[in-house]
């Protein structure tokens, strides 16, 4: 992939406008997701992570337990 230079007219925009532009670009990528293909290595890594997650069982705490710890109830 080539290194692109940000055009001055974009660089001169206020930060909120540049952030909005990034969001629009990201949304356009999401719309074209059919063209995005994972590599075999990426697919294998996702499969490995999913298998590890499924084999490890439930994790974390339910809301009632978390709330009791935050509020200090016994």
Using CA atoms, how far apart are residues 7 and 15, in angstroms rounded to an integer? 14
Tokens of 54: 């499924």
Rounded to whole angstroms, what are the CA distances from 54 to 15, 46, 50, 63?
Answer: 41, 12, 6, 21
Per-residue pLDDT at 22: 96
Residue 32's pLDDT is 83
Q: What is the per-residue pLDDT for 48? A: 96
**pLDDT tens digits in sequence order for the chain, 74 residues long:** 567 899 999 999 999 999 999 999 999 988 887 777 889 999 999 999 999 988 887 778 889 999 999 998 65
For residue 1, the model assigns a pLDDT of 52
């Amino acid at each position: 992939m080539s290194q692109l230079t940000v055009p001055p007219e974009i660089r001169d925009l206020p930060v909120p406008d540049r952030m909005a532009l990034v969001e629009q670009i990201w949304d356009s990528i999401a719309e074209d997701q059919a063209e995005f293909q994972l590599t075999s290595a990426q697919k294998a890594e996702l499969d490995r992570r999913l298998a590890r997650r499924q084999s490890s069982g439930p994790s974390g705490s339910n809301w009632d337990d978390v709330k009791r710890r935050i509020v200090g109830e016994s």
